[in-house]
Structure 1
Amino acid sequence: MSRAASRRSPGEGALFYRADRDRWVGRVTIDGERRTVSAKTKTEARKELDLLRRAADDGLPLTAGSMTLADLLTVWADKALPNRVLADSAITSHKWAIKILVEEIGNVKVRRLTPDQVEAAFLRRTKTIDVAKRRGRGRTSGSALSRSSLIKVRSTLSQALKWAQRRNLIARNIAGLVEIPADAAVPKSGKSLTVAEAKLLLIAAAGTDLEAMWIVMLYLGLRPGEAAGLAWDDIDFDSGTVHIWRSRKVGASGNSVVGATKTPGSIRTLDAPQPVLDSFVRHRRRQHEQRLAAGSWWTNEENLVFTSPYGKPSDSAAVRKEFREIVAASDVEGDWTPNLLRHSAASLMADAGMPIELVADQLGHRDLRMLQRHYRHRIRPTISGGAVVDGLLTREVS
């Protein structure tokens, strides 16, 4: 039985049947060069033709079978990540994971990538890495990756493969079949300030530009991005509450942008004890003085609580720098970051007897297991009825 040729629209290539080869053939011109694909059926040939054109559009190798995981991850990082609003830490995490995947299995063809190959790479990464030459590439030295780190790597792989799957570059996303090695180390939970250390830190922070940020994070357990995203409209001085509904993040372009909270469950309204409200009053007075000094250079269009002296969104690097200076001035030993104030808040609340469910609500968490694993430290038995946030740290820290 004869088979009629199928012509496509101009620029989309052509499909036709070759009886001498018993194959369907697709042809398309890309960058002035004719490319040809063939398959047993017309449908398969059309898919191969579409794949060829899509790969060219995405900057991937024109022969789908030659596309390596390194090729895919490079294009995904260049094309997909810039279009997403992500915190700078999330972008850094993806790039870190890409580096590991490229080092381990970057030369594997994406269409031939199997869960076993990924699991074998993960198993290698549970061991301490030595500097070595492997297939002509140097490997970075470092310690073994923990279970949570490997989960992050798998998540990056899954997102990249999902992006490729939507573009018909691969048939399936195998990342969901990958299991984390059973002997992968479980990371230690984050450290927390003691009551005495919290006192020292707050004394050192008194009168500084971002005193209110450190107080609200330590008392209420806000994430750094949630604190940076606070607007004055989010603070109700009459009811003594703070509404958390957005987070300030750094996009792939480096610009500071306002986005949704980390999860829908992170949207919450929190009772603010008097020290928090008082710190906001002092901060508003300080910001008013900065606005007068800046004059026409003032640009706080979003009415943010925490800004630069000229009203621009607070810079995350500057925030971390000021926090390090406060820690150094407080004589609190160790390496501390602003995010550990959140850990400390959870620990202090639970240590005072606040039920774990209320601590989870306070921090905007729904996964109690994760909260118990990463945020609680030095926990006493829960007191019946628990404690409320209002006055908790006033009693313990002031």
Structure 2
Amino acid sequence: MTEEKRGRAGNGDDSIYWDKSKNRYIGAISLGYTPAGKRNRSKVSGKTKTEVRAKLREKRRELENGVKTSAAYTVEQAVTDWLSRGLKGREASSVKAYTSLAKNHVIAALGKAKLHELEADDVDDWLDVRAETLSRESLRRVLWILRRSIAHAQRRGRVGVNVAEFVDLPDGQDGRPSKSLSLLQAQALLSTRQGSWIHAYVVLALLVGIRTEEERALAWNHVHTKVGEDGRSHVDVWRSVRRDGETKTRLSRRSLAMPLQAAKVLEDYRARQQAEFQEAGAEWSMQGLVFPGPGGGQRSSTNVRKNLRSLLKEAGLKHPEAEFHEPQEWTTRELRTSFVSLLSDTGVPIEVIAKLVGHSTTATTERFYRKQLRPVIAEGAEAMDAVFESDRNDDQGASTGT
């Protein structure tokens, strides 16, 4: 390699020289020596000395701020590093989802870009293209991945500025709206396939508002069908199918009163389950799962969703007036959405609904529907008793022959 130096640089000074083999000027900053005693230098290149001097000044500022950018370090490397090191302790399902979004939307579009050269305009352009096919929620997630990846690189001195923090999120496409059952549909669903585990599952989700991940991990010792000292039967929502069996947050642990109909259904379902265990020669336990899968372990979300859709289809055939359109499109989460909708339609204040589903603010309830509260909350059970009282009276009249 042939070099033409600008002049002998002093010890520790920056130097610029012409590299004939690369047909470019090279600038170098001395970083001292490695532990092995080898001289350590950081280099930049450019077509002119002016360009190289500007890069050296930027490199010197970064070094003074403790940042050691690499000219070759790409967005793909930054995202990959975050996926491998920045998601420790996360659920396997969450890691899988983030990895898929990162590969398909961040790395696929921005991966080859040098991280230190990435600009806010590049991120804006990327988001505008993605907004043509992704919903706003999906856009929020992929931008979050990029921001976290760059922040991860920042903490390791790979880049000085997180340009992804300087952009606004575009609107994106309309996502699939959540569905909720009407009162007529809920009544039809609750009268279908009574005595089955999926019927009891739907009763608990629809009348109490428990999340599906909490139901699948629910054990009998947390279901109190007998009236307690507070005058209500209730269910303790203390576990979920998440890692280590914990609920999403510590505050997600709560006890919720059950409407009379839900308590009766679960009591009858437990008696049938005990009889089935006895007939099969298996031991039944209060610590056992309320809704065990075919092998006795936790039931999968896929299995629950499949059985729910089958129940919806059957309810539609049995009650055509309920008009269950496209039952194959429903998800188990929408039982919880229906819980909130039915309470709201009955006149229960949004503040009470927020407390029942565990939201710190009513805005969160309106947007998501979620958690909390340790004391037994009775308002939802009382409202559901009133909503379905006529059904219960009809059943009692039929049983007495009146």
- TM-score, length of structure 2 as denominator length: 0.69
2:367 equivalent to 1:389: no
Asked if the contact 1:148/1:186 (under 8 Å) is kept, the reply is: no
Equivalent of residue 203 in structure 1, options 188, 191, 202: 191
Correspondence 1:124-163 to 2 at 5 A: 124-127=129-132, 144-163=133-152
Asked if the contact 1:24/1:45 (under 8 Å) is kept, the reply is: no
Give the Å deviation of 1:19.
7.4
2:238 equivalent to 1:245: yes
Correspondence 1:334-353 to 2 at 5 A: 334=326, 335-353=329-347
Letter in 2 for 1:67: Y
Letter in 1 for 2:258: A
* Aligned counterparts of 1:65 and 1:35: Cα–Cα separation in 2: 19
2:359 equivalent to 1:365: yes
Correspondence 1:190-269 to 2 at 5 A: 190-237=178-225, 238-239=227-228, 240-249=233-242, 257-261=244-248, 263-269=249-255
Letter in 2 for 1:390: A
Instruction: Name the SS of the counterpart of 1:153 in structure 2.
Output: helix
* Aligned counterparts of 1:46 and 1:293: Cα–Cα separation in 2: 73
Correspondence 1:250-289 to 2 at 5 A: 257-261=244-248, 263-289=249-275
- TM-score, length of structure 1 as denominator length: 0.69
Asked if the contact 1:266/1:365 (under 8 Å) is kept, the reply is: no
| Equivalent position of 1:107 in the other structure | 112
* Aligned counterparts of 1:226 and 1:361: Cα–Cα separation in 2: 17
Give the Å deviation of 1:194.
0.7
| Equivalent position of 2:4 in the other structure | none
| Equivalent position of 1:333 in the other structure | 325
Residues 189-236 of structure 1: CA deviation (Å, up to 9, x unaligned)? 412111111122222242222322211111122221122232333333
Correspondence 1:88-107 to 2 at 5 A: 88=93, 91-92=96-97, 95-107=100-112
| Equivalent position of 2:20 in the other structure | none
Larger radius of gyration: 2
Give the Å deviation of 1:358.
0.7
Provide the identity percentage: 28
Gaps of 5+ in 2: 1-10, 16-28, 44-58, 317-323, 370-377, 392-402
Call closer, same or farther: CA 1:357–1:186 in 2, change over 3 Å: farther
Q: How many residue pairs are counted as aligned between the two chains?
A: 328
* Aligned counterparts of 2:165 and 2:173: Cα–Cα separation in 1: 21
Call closer, same or farther: CA 1:245–1:236 in 2, change over 3 Å: same
Instruction: Name the SS of the counterpart of 2:381 in structure 1.
Output: coil
* Aligned counterparts of 2:123 and 2:309: Cα–Cα separation in 1: 39
Call closer, same or farther: CA 1:279–1:180 in 2, change over 3 Å: same
Asked if the contact 2:236/2:255 (under 8 Å) is kept, the reply is: yes
Residues 168-190 of structure 1: CA deviation (Å, up to 9, x unaligned)? 43445444333112x44554641
* Aligned counterparts of 1:276 and 1:283: Cα–Cα separation in 2: 10
Instruction: Name the SS of the counterpart of 1:248 in structure 2.
Output: coil
Letter in 2 for 1:242: V
Gaps of 5+ in 1: 1-16, 52-62, 128-143, 252-256, 376-386
* Aligned counterparts of 1:169 and 1:302: Cα–Cα separation in 2: 51
Call closer, same or farther: CA 1:216–1:301 in 2, change over 3 Å: closer
* Aligned counterparts of 1:72 and 1:372: Cα–Cα separation in 2: 36
Instruction: Name the SS of the counterpart of 1:333 in structure 2.
Output: coil
Equivalent of residue 169 in structure 1, options 158, 162, 165: 158
**Aligned alpha-carbon RMSD (Å):** 3.7
Asked if the contact 1:246/1:260 (under 8 Å) is kept, the reply is: yes
Give the Å deviation of 1:342.
0.8
Instruction: Name the SS of the counterpart of 1:314 in structure 2.
Output: coil
Asked if the contact 1:37/1:45 (under 8 Å) is kept, the reply is: no
* Aligned counterparts of 1:299 and 1:120: Cα–Cα separation in 2: 60
* Aligned counterparts of 1:93 and 1:363: Cα–Cα separation in 2: 26
Call closer, same or farther: CA 1:344–1:226 in 2, change over 3 Å: same
Give the Å deviation of 1:112.
2.9
Call closer, same or farther: CA 1:126–1:309 in 2, change over 3 Å: closer
Call closer, same or farther: CA 1:294–1:364 in 2, change over 3 Å: farther
| Equivalent position of 1:305 in the other structure | 290
* Aligned counterparts of 1:358 and 1:393: Cα–Cα separation in 2: 13
Residues 91-127 of structure 1: CA deviation (Å, up to 9, x unaligned)? 4255235411123222222233333322221112222
Residues 294-318 of structure 1: CA deviation (Å, up to 9, x unaligned)? 667x898964322224431111221
Call closer, same or farther: CA 1:203–1:197 in 2, change over 3 Å: same
Instruction: Name the SS of the counterpart of 2:240 in structure 1.
Output: strand
2:30 equivalent to 1:23: yes
Asked if the contact 1:69/1:108 (under 8 Å) is kept, the reply is: yes
Give the Å deviation of 1:241.
1.8
Give the Å deviation of 1:267.
3.1
Give the Å deviation of 1:291.
4.3
Letter in 1 for 2:130: R
* Aligned counterparts of 1:395 and 1:20: Cα–Cα separation in 2: 81
Call closer, same or farther: CA 1:148–1:310 in 2, change over 3 Å: closer
* Aligned counterparts of 2:137 and 2:111: Cα–Cα separation in 1: 21
Give the Å deviation of 1:70.
2.1
Give the Å deviation of 1:273.
0.8
* Aligned counterparts of 1:317 and 1:170: Cα–Cα separation in 2: 42
* Aligned counterparts of 1:45 and 1:26: Cα–Cα separation in 2: 17
